[in-house]
């Protein structure tokens, strides 16, 4: 494969991965943290469940948004963290959304989103993409940290109802304890070592993979250790989790394989999936297992994620993301990371129009994805012609 042909392949896979991430997140938001099985999904969205991008319902029976602490991690306290002059949720971040966290209501975690609109973590992926573009295709933790804080503290920067524990703790440390920004990442010992923490490291892994391949003229010699380190550093910007950093390193290698693996036939990703499972201390993924619901915690969410990748990697990315949406549980951020690997293997041209066209910010995302790809892979040299086929 010539350098020109491989460049074209990498470009297609990068775009496929990013579109897959945005799609996997948005398609699953209506059923995020539904633990009542498919019957619960049917009760809110009809007999066929989720069949395309759908606006989340407003009220959700069993929602624990009303129990979540708007001023810190985990559950709400009635004796300390809520007795403040200002609220982290509503005043500092997620402006105007505190009313949805009312302990007397039962509101869907993403009640304010429109069909195809992305949740907060994937909106932060956009912030990271722009930061990487601003730094000539490289991850810069200081630049991203400032961009993160600016985005989160700007009114109307996003439309999501929910912000996870790590974000609430970060800004509680910043506002209430007046810590330096680099010291604000935190961990409550329960709700931070979670699969949503893999979303941002995935973006950095995509960038670093492409950048290294570009610098080697799309040949061999890529140092996976550099990709792993950059991904782990990304995770550390918003949360303090040595477990997540280690998982991010393993996941970064899987992202590298999804982008760089030359083989286009069936089963080429099975060995990298087995290697990832082994590195995580898990049994080998099995494609014959039934799709499993899981909670957000890494220990429980990683095995079914790897199983689904093994099952769907040679099938339709859209089919897999719809299946994930109809499982419930912590399917939003699992959908994003599934979408990265499956979208990469499908390539941009292999994704159905419905996957892209239904995204709420489709036009903005197209421009941002193109800018990101140009930054990390470099503009195509003038006069260079593609050779061969993908």
Strand partners for 107:
59
Enumerate residues 6+ apart whose C-beta is below 8 A from 144.
Answer: 127, 128, 131, 234, 237
67 by Cβ neighbours in 10 Å (0-12 / 13-18 / 19+) ranks as exposed
Residue 383: its pLDDT value, please? 45
Residues with Cβ within 8 Å of 137's Cβ and at least 6 positions away in sequence, in order, are 207, 210, 211, 375, 376, 377, 378
Beta bridge partners of 297: 194
Q: Is 258 exposed, middle or buried (0-12, 13-18, 19+ CB in 10 A)?
A: buried
Dihedral angle of Cα 374, 380, 385, 390, to the nearest 10 degrees: -30
- CA–CA separation, 135 vs 138, rounded Å? 6
pTM for the whole thing? 0.94
Q: How far is CA 125 from CA 138, 216, 331, 388, in A?
A: 14, 26, 17, 33
Please give the pLDDT value at position 267. Answer: 77
Tens of pLDDT, residue by residue, the chain (390 residues): 788 899 999 999 999 999 999 999 999 999 999 999 999 999 999 999 999 999 999 999 999 999 999 998 766 654 344 557 899 999 999 999 999 999 999 999 999 999 999 999 999 999 999 999 999 999 999 999 999 999 999 999 999 999 999 999 999 999 999 999 999 999 999 899 999 999 999 999 999 999 999 988 887 788 999 999 999 999 999 999 999 999 999 999 999 999 998 766 667 899 999 999 999 999 999 999 999 999 999 999 999 999 999 999 999 999 999 999 999 999 999 999 999 999 999 999 999 999 999 999 999 999 999 999 999 998 655 444 443 333
Closest CA to 33 of 265, 146, 191, 152: 191
Q: Counting every residue, how long is the chain?
A: 390
What does the block give as tokens for 54? 């759908």
186 CB-near residues (< 8 Å, 6+ apart): 73, 166, 169, 170, 172, 173, 192, 239, 240
pLDDT (tens digit, 9 = 90+) per residue, 82-141? 557 899 999 999 999 999 999 999 999 999 999 999 999 999 999 999 999 999 999 999
User: Where do we find the tokens 């220990």?
Assistant: 299
Identify the bridge partners of residue 194 per DSSP, sorted by sequence position.
297
CA distance 49 to 40: 9
Residues 6+ apart with CB under 8 A from 336: 21, 22, 24, 25, 121, 122, 125, 199, 202
Give the integer Cα–Cα distance in Å for 220 and 165: 40
- pLDDT tens profile 139-182: 999 999 999 999 999 999 999 999 999 999 999 999 999 999 99
pLDDT at 389: 31
CB 220 within 8 A of CB 256: no
> Whole-angstrom Cα distance, residue 97 to residue 9?
42
């Amino acid at each position: 494969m010539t350098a020109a042909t491989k460049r074209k392949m990498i470009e297609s896979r990068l775009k496929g991965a990013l579109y897959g991430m945005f799609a996997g997140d948005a398609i699953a938001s209506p059923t995020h943290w539904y633990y009542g099985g498919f019957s619960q999904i049917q009760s809110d969205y009809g007999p066929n469940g989720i069949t395309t991008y759908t606006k989340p319902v407003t009220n959700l029976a069993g929602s624990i948004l009303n129990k979540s602490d708007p001023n810190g991690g985990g559950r709400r306290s009635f004796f300390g963290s809520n007795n403040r002059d200002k609220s982290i949720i509503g005043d500092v971040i997620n402006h105007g959304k505190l009313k949805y966290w009312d302990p007397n209501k039962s509101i869907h975690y993403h009640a304010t989103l429109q069909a195809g609109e992305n949740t907060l973590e994937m909106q932060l992926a956009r912030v990271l993409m722009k930061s990487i573009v601003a730094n000539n295709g490289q991850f810069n933790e200081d630049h991203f940290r400032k961009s993160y804080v600016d985005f989160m503290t700007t009114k109307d920067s996003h439309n999501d109802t929910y912000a996870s524990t790590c974000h609430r703790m970060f800004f509680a440390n910043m506002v209430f304890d007046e810590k330096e920004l680099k010291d604000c990442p935190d961990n409550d010992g329960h709700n931070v070592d979670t699969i949503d923490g893999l979303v941002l490291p995935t973006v950095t892994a995509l960038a670093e993979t492409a950048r290294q391949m570009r610098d080697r003229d799309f040949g061999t010699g890529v140092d996976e250790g550099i990709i792993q380190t950059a991904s782990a550093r990304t995770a550390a910007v918003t949360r303090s989790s040595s477990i997540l950093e280690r998982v991010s390193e393993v996941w970064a290698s899987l992202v590298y394989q999804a982008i760089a693996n030359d083989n286009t036939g069936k089963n080429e990703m099975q060995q990298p999936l087995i290697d990832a499972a082994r590195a995580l201390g898990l049994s080998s993924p099995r494609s014959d297992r039934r799709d499993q619901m899981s909670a957000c915690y890494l220990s429980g969410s990683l095995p079914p994620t790897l199983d689904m990748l093994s099952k769907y990697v040679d099938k339709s990315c859209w089919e897999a993301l719809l299946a994930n949406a109809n499982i419930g549980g912590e399917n939003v951020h699992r959908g994003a990371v599934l979408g990265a690997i499956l979208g990469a293997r499908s390539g941009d041209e292999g994704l159905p129009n419905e996957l892209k066209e239904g995204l709420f910010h489709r036009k903005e995302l197209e421009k941002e994805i193109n800018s990101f790809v140009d930054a990390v892979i470099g503009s195509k040299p003038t006069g260079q012609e593609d050779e061969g086929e993908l």
